[in-house]
Structure 1
Amino acid sequence: MDLFSRTWAALRAAVAALPDSEFAKPSGCRGWLVRDLVCHLVIDAQDVLITLVTPASSVVTHDAVTYWSLADTLPSGDDPLDALIVRLAAAYEDPALLKFHLDDVGAAAGRAADLADPGMRVSTQEMVLTAGDYLSAYVLEWTLHHLDLVAHLTSVPGPPAEGLTATRSLLEKIGGTAFPASFSDEDVLLVATGRRSPSEAEREVLGDLTARLPFVLG
């Protein structure tokens, strides 16, 4: 629960500090500018708020690992929801409005998470999880998108180290494999999710695991 709050606060602070000119630069998400990514974060914050006030009485069906699934192909940007995000982001016009909306909804999502009972069962996407597992799953979301935010913005601080470590651990459980200890947490996340291609030297170290990459999270 604390790690959710720290990673979410760090991501929101990074967005709040962005000069307006940075919103038109590419992000680490294929086909999305920084403004599109930030708009997606607004939707994510809304999802967190909705889920935390959607209690479930049925048995738990998923945890932080099984919340995520692995798809076969990387997103192309042609998905209708992805296209909608781009149109919504463009409609803001002034980056200050987009930053304000993320700060407003994002702060509310953060407060809701702080107040949530970790053992409470919640429902989302036809899954039932404890609030603690749901928020743990979102540490991965925040950390990967923080890496996406700073992919082409060298002056912006990246995600907290503890978020990188926890996300690596969760990603290894999702993929059912451990990455070599010689890989940094950030390199694991970038290479494993297809955000960058492994170098020849990294391919040699990865061995047979290379053929399984990237892990496309759904």
Structure 2
Amino acid sequence: MDLFARSWTALRAAVAGLRDEDFARPSGCAGWLVRDLVCHLVIDAQDVLITLVTPADAEPTHDAVTYWQVSDTPPTGDDPLDALIVRLAAAYEQPGLLEFHLDDVGSAAGRAAGLADRGRWVRTQDMVLTAGGYLSAYVLEWTLHHLDLIACLPDAPGPPAECLARVREMLETIAGTTFPASWSDTDALLIATGRRAPAGTERAELGASAGRIPLFLG
């Protein structure tokens, strides 16, 4: 099954399973509560809809991996756009309204992705990708944010195993190294993106590759 659909369906189902009090818990994103992350997902879904109807007349310049920009600076939540997300999320007041908006826009984004010609060229953020490449990039976005969503919700369902495995491959390509085989896919994603620090044994297993992570993606 298409990994975009798998990752997005699983993430939206995890949001639908939240209790009202869960929206006030911390997420795995610096400075954001769960409600802020869910609001960000609404914006992401809008971006998917916009990009899929923004054709390009030039050949692709990026793919699912090169779409991602790597920074040496970890996110703090102080970026103006991040701060805007927090204010937008608070404006919903009731978690049910935010959940409804995500389901409404998110369902449309999922349908649009299913109908998209994967070979068509689309433009976003001064990049040109095939629609398939763009949607594949979002497998990384959805999967990492699924982990962010459940960071303080240990009983919540996690991302699909095949999506975790694919994102691990993508991060290894971005980092230019292979993560230790002893690491689970979830641990590899969390450590590689700086969502948690490697333990002593994990750092030792990285060896010379330790300097290649964490990757702060944007």
TM-score, normalised to structure 1, is 0.98
1:153 aligned residue? 153
Q: Distance in 1 between matches of 2:18 and 2:184?
A: 26
Letter paired with 2:178: A
Structure 1 runs (4+) greater than 2 angstroms displaced: none
Query: How much has 1:212 moved relative to structure 2?
Result: 2.6
2:68 aligned residue? 68
1:124 aligned residue? 124
Q: Is the Cα contact below 8 Å between 2:191 and 2:198 reproduced in 1?
A: yes
Q: What SS class does the counterpart of residue 128 from structure 2 fall into?
A: strand
2:54 aligned residue? 54
Any idea what the Cα deviations from partners look like across 1:59-94, whole Å, max 9, x if unmatched? 111111110111111011110000000000000000
Letter paired with 1:101: H
1:199 aligned residue? 199
Query: How much has 1:211 moved relative to structure 2?
Result: 2.4
Q: Distance in 2 between matches of 1:114 and 1:211?
A: 39
TM-score, normalised to structure 2, is 0.98
1:138 aligned residue? 138
Any idea what the Cα deviations from partners look like across 1:108-156, whole Å, max 9, x if unmatched? 0000000001101000000000000000000000000000001100111
2:13 aligned residue? 13
- Percent identity over paired residues: 72
Q: Distance in 2 between matches of 1:27 and 1:156?
A: 13
Any idea what the Cα deviations from partners look like across 1:23-75, whole Å, max 9, x if unmatched? 00000001100000000000000000000000111111111111011111101
Q: Distance in 2 between matches of 1:206 and 1:101?
A: 42
What 5-or-longer segments of structure 2 have no aligned partner?
none
Q: Is the Cα contact below 8 Å between 1:69 and 1:174 reproduced in 2?
A: no
What 5-or-longer segments of structure 1 have no aligned partner?
none
Whether 1:177 and 2:174 are equivalent positions in the alignment is no
Q: What SS class does the counterpart of residue 32 from structure 2 fall into?
A: coil
Whether 1:31 and 2:31 are equivalent positions in the alignment is yes
Letter paired with 1:202: E
